[in-house]
Amino acid sequence: MKRYEELAETLARDIRNGSLPPGTKMPSIRKTVAQYSVSPATAFQAYYRLEERGLVRARERSGYYVTGPVGRTLPLPQPVVRRTQQVSTDVDISKLVFSVLDAARDPGLIQLGSAFPSPELFPWERLGKSLARAGRELDPWYSVSDMAAGHLALRQQIGLRYLGAGAPQPTEEIIVTSGALEALNLCLMAVTEPGDVVAIESPGFYASLQALERLRLRAVEIPVDSREGIDLDALESALERHPIKACWFMTQFQNPLGASMPEARKQALVELLARHRVPLIEDDVYGELYFGNRCPLPAKAFDQEGLVMHCSSFSKTLAPGFRVGWVAPGRFGDAIQRLRLMTTLSAGVPTQVALAEYLQHGGYDKHLRRLRHVLEMQQGQLIAAIGRHFPDSVRVSQPDGGYFLWVEFPEGFDALALHRAALEHGIGIAPGPIFSARQGYRNCIRLNYGHLWSEAVENAVVTLGALAKAQLSR
């Protein structure tokens, strides 16, 4: 990393964590040069980089200012109190999840509860050209030769991305799937049987809860902190108490908290599970949506025993409708391939070929840089709006990537009631109880900042704040 990139990232970190809140005047070039022992050219380049990312804006004859109106600094959510479960939990969450998701499908809603970023952020025209070219040049034999593991050229491109991220994986071990959710479910099926116990995050991704429910598995919930990620002490205690057969965790930009584990803690997680011989299903669909200058290493990078099954997809970063994901399965590759041949056989071949062409020639990294910059800017806009319009008692996560914020109200607040009231005003949110096997987190909501900022979104935040204040005043 070049010196100006290091300086830009240091300043960006201060902006993201609230040390330099919206509206603050940035240190002058002269002061920056003296404070960080850099040249004026390096300081200027760092500020240009921050301006390019939408974090600061230059004002004529005045200097640089943090983007956005002046607002209060919002505290982070309280750490989840560590409570090791005495017994594992049966999962019965789907009815609640489906009721929330069904209510949010109205295209007229302001989609603050969506699980996807705005379709407007993806390069559909360029993807269409790749798909058309794939259709013209498609080898009919691909439908046979690519059935087991996926299209070779696509797996090679995925392998190059692992290599570039510092976590190389052999191309021959990568298995392409119909989206990340299929990869995750296949991994779960490969290492468990009905009645087994699986460690999941709390709060955690509701699709993991639904997968456990469908496969008749039991859950042990491991607390997740918005700063540090998975509570390793709680996990170690759970491993000693319960016959845990697998863990399903998001180590980067976790849904719904946005939490990321520092790399040292990811390594400690992998080593802890290796000692107990427990496989890790690593759900890493947001890993490339980082706001810094370097892609964080996944837990898979520290796997020496082949116990980490790393799953991802292009659905959150490039082409949600293509339904193409993959898994780097470690020692479980044969079992996962057999299960896949018994279920879906193969992901769509034309979309695989199209994605391979796009990754090779379409400018994927340029698209990702632009996408990250937009998401980072929109996160700042949503946090600033929450600071202006939500109750003073609210707490908000401030992740270094992804596109979710976790909003925590005081104890006793009813997030499901806020969800119902918001729907009446044409606003979708994701209430906290859908992210827990015990349907906890009733005072929390998840908000999506992946949709382009607009007056309508701003007004939706104003309305949500008014509804929340009215509930708290009763």
Residue 331's nearest CA partner among 298, 303, 312, 302 is 303
What pTM does this model have? 0.87
Q: What percent of the chain has pLDDT over 70?
A: 93
Helix (H, G, I), strand (E, B) or coil at 265: helix
CA-only gyration radius of the chain, Å: 22
**Average confidence (pLDDT) over 133-151:** 76
Q: Please, what is the average pLDDT of the chain?
A: 89
Where does residue 96 rank: exposed (0-12), middle (13-18), buried (19+ CB within 10 A)? middle
CA–CA distances in Å: residue 366 to residues 87, 131, 359, 371? 48, 19, 11, 9
- Domains present along the chain, CATH in parentheses: 3-66 (1.10.10.10), 91-120+366-473 (3.90.1150.10), 123-364 (3.40.640.10)
**Average confidence (pLDDT) over 202-231:** 92
Q: Is the pLDDT of residue 89 over 70?
A: no
Q: What is the pLDDT of residue 227?
A: 86
What are the backbone angles phi and psi of residue 265, rounded to the nearest 5°?
A: -75, -35
Helix (H, G, I), strand (E, B) or coil at 124: helix
Q: Is the pLDDT of residue 52 over 80?
A: no
Q: Dump pLDDT digits (tens) for 68-79.
A: 544 566 787 877
Per DSSP, which regions of 285-419 are E strands? Answer: 308-313, 325-328, 395-396, 404-408
| Tokens (6 digits) for 333 | 């590759």
Residue 360's nearest CA partner among 151, 148, 140, 143 is 151
Q: Dump pLDDT digits (tens) for 242-295.
A: 999 999 999 999 999 999 999 999 999 999 999 999 999 999 999 999 988 788
Q: 84 falls in which pLDDT band (50, 70, 90)?
A: very low
CA–CA distances in Å: residue 326 to residues 98, 164, 176, 177, 333? 26, 17, 4, 5, 12
Q: Is the pLDDT of residue 85 over 90?
A: no
Q: Let me know the angle formed at the C-alpha of 162 by 157 and 163, rounded to the nearest 5 degrees.
A: 95
Q: 342 falls in which pLDDT band (50, 70, 90)?
A: confident
Name, of 63-72, 131-140, 201-210, the range with top average pLDDT: 201-210
Q: What is the pLDDT of residue 86?
A: 47
Say how far apart CA 58 and CA 38 lie, in whole Å. 20
Q: Dump pLDDT digits (tens) for 367-406.
A: 999 999 899 889 988 998 999 999 999 999 989 999 999 9
